[in-house]
Structure 1
Amino acid sequence: KFGALWFLITLLPTSSFIPLKQLATEHRTYLPGLGFSLILGWMFLNIKNCQTAAKVLFLIFILLSSTLTLNRSLDFRSEVSLWKDTSQKSPRKALVHNNLATAYMAIDQLQKAKDALKTALTINPSQIDSYVNLGHIAGREKNWEQAIEKFDLGISLGTKKSDTFYYSGFARNNLGRYEEAIPYFEKAISLQPFKADYYFDLGNSYRHLKLFDNALHHFRKTLEIEPNHYKAHNNMGTIFWVLGATDQARVAFENVLSIKPYIPAIHNNLAAIHIKKGDYKKAIPHLEKLISLQPENINAQKL
């Protein structure tokens, strides 16, 4: 009785009247399986008149279960093998093919990922995640126009994922469409306001549009979330340099070096600032470091 009650009670929360996206999934049976095992054990122990037959049946059951378990464990060798097996057993489920594509993307097998996503969209043309994943693949291939098309399809179908808006803006930034990118970054921030890169790339849009106050504001927001975001420090230094605020530029570039001490451009910038101020002694260590990092840099050698 205990085994039967355990089986029913542990199965009810995931397989009863509550609507589920997936009708049946393997992991829901793991905990109820303990009750099933108890029932089987009780049955074998209570076959009093046929002890030999019970033992034989028990051994057959153990061997069969072990064989099936070993065979199933082979599917768990990797994400790809697991989802390939699942797609073969459930070939009409778009989500399964999308997850197989995600597994392929994780190991950079992009063509196989595309094929799996096309299958998913053939089954369900409204599968949002499949369009978004096609956008990510296009982004990896630097095909920014196609990336925008796929991300925007996901958005038009009603995605609520902040990353989709972010990457749609990111693709636009890569095409130099900075003003167009701004609303996408702002939407991403409204959905997930604690991601440093959202503010950073929004700041980049404003920087390229020469709206420096807005850019600095968003770079500072980036640093509130991630103080060691060296690219934000660097971009602030670049803006201060353009504005002629050399002291503030120096502080920003020195912040970069405290995080990433081996970036040649930063040593070059700091050397230029010190030379501009006539402080040649402070410029020399940066020039020496620049030459050690870039021995072919003729300008640094001349200075």
Structure 2
Amino acid sequence: MTNQYNLENSKFFLRKKNKFIEKSDKKILKSTRSLKIEAEVLEPHYNLATVYLDQGRLDEAEKEYRKVQVIRPGHFPSKIGLSSVYNQKGLYDQALALLEQAVKENISNQSLIFALARSNLGELYGKTGRIEDAIIEWESALKIDPSLLPAHFNLGTAYMMLEKLDPAKNAFKHCLKLNSQHKPALFNLAKVYQMQKQWSESTQQFKLFLKISGPRASAYTQIGFNFNKQLDWGNAQTFLEKSIALQPYNVNARIYLAEALIALGEKENARKNLQAISSANSTQKTMISTMMLNLNNPANMTP
């Protein structure tokens, strides 16, 4: 079950990045004849590498980016691209080393391509557990390019992980200003409201998510949980049954549904839902055991 949407990469911003590179290369072409020849040799390899990266053809992308580095050592955009290849291959140490070096060498750069580099570096820090470092990079990226949606989303997710809920909420809201149909931001904003025990606001946000995404067991489960917290057992039952219809082995949905059914006096139905659970983690097992004990010993149940 999806509890939240996690860090997002910036691959969908590659076309945007390439426009900036093209502008940069056009300036280079105007400089000297030797640089013009170099750029003419370099551009096909760089453009091909970017296409391969976009298609997920990582080995081919890596080869082309390396050719660019041979032609022009230290070429900043190709370093960013090559680090993205390593990132997608799961070679995080190599990706980090390359991107950290590129950022350090260009630290005074205020171009939009540099914002993308810092956003990508933040993503790598996030993936390797360096959340505070990641936040610094995303905030730095957004000072340069406030329209960089993945940086806003990742910043919100990082704050959410640190339980800094108001900054998280602001970051997700900024995402939605940029794209009102951004599903991960809609879902995570609903989770933030839930963490703040703002049950109605959370439910409203999950419903907005469902309008965009269509039926999702994860969202139905969260809405059911919210209604349970508000003691609105009937609505909780409705949404939790929708969740189970889509995902019969959703353990949390069955536990929350059993809670609602017990409150509604449907104890046998509650027992059946608990017995239908085939696998659970230790926390869930404790909850199930307690609920079954109470069902088998009515005197233990809270009136």
AA aligned opposite 1:115: A
- Residue 122 of structure 1 is matched in structure 2 by 104
C-alpha spacing 1:276/1:141, structure 2 compared with 1 (3 Å): same
AA aligned opposite 2:101: T
Identify which of structures 1 and 2 has the higher relative contact order when contacts are C-alpha pairs closer than 8 Å and 6+ apart. Answer: 2
Which of 156, 167, 171 is matched with 2:154 structurally? 167
1:1-303 equivalences in 2 (<5 Å): 20-23=23-26, 24=40, 25-26=43-44, 77-125=59-107, 126=109, 127-290=114-277, 292-294=278-280, 297=285, 299=289, 302=293, 303=295
C-alpha spacing 1:138/1:76, structure 2 compared with 1 (3 Å): closer
AA aligned opposite 2:279: L
Is 2:153–2:185's contact at 8 Å kept on the other side of the alignment?
Answer: yes
TM-score (normalizing by structure 2): 0.72
Is 1:186–1:202's contact at 8 Å kept on the other side of the alignment?
Answer: yes
**Deviation, structure 1 residue 190:** 0.8
C-alpha spacing 1:28/1:272, structure 2 compared with 1 (3 Å): closer
AA aligned opposite 1:280: K
- Residue 9 of structure 1 is matched in structure 2 by none
**Deviation, structure 1 residue 184:** 1.2
- Residue 3 of structure 1 is matched in structure 2 by none
Distance in 2 between the 1:123 and 1:278 partners? 67
CA displacement, residues 199-224 of structure 1 (integer Å, 9 cap, x when unaligned): 11112222222222322221111111
RMSD: 2.6
AA aligned opposite 1:217: Q
C-alpha spacing 1:200/1:122, structure 2 compared with 1 (3 Å): same
Distance in 1 between the 2:151 and 2:64 partners? 26
Gapped regions of structure 2 (runs ≥ 5): 1-21, 27-39, 49-56, 296-303
C-alpha spacing 1:76/1:183, structure 2 compared with 1 (3 Å): closer
Distance in 1 between the 2:122 and 2:47 partners? 36
Distance in 2 between the 1:162 and 1:208 partners? 23
Distance in 2 between the 1:28 and 1:144 partners? 31
Q: Percentage identity across aligned positions? A: 18
**Deviation, structure 1 residue 234:** 1.8
Secondary structure at the counterpart of residue 185 of structure 2:
helix
Secondary structure at the counterpart of residue 167 of structure 2:
helix
C-alpha spacing 1:255/1:139, structure 2 compared with 1 (3 Å): farther
Secondary structure at the counterpart of residue 90 of structure 2:
coil
Q: Which of 1 and 2 has greater Rg?
A: 1
Is 2:118–2:138's contact at 8 Å kept on the other side of the alignment?
Answer: yes
- Residue 59 of structure 1 is matched in structure 2 by none
TM-score (normalizing by structure 1): 0.72
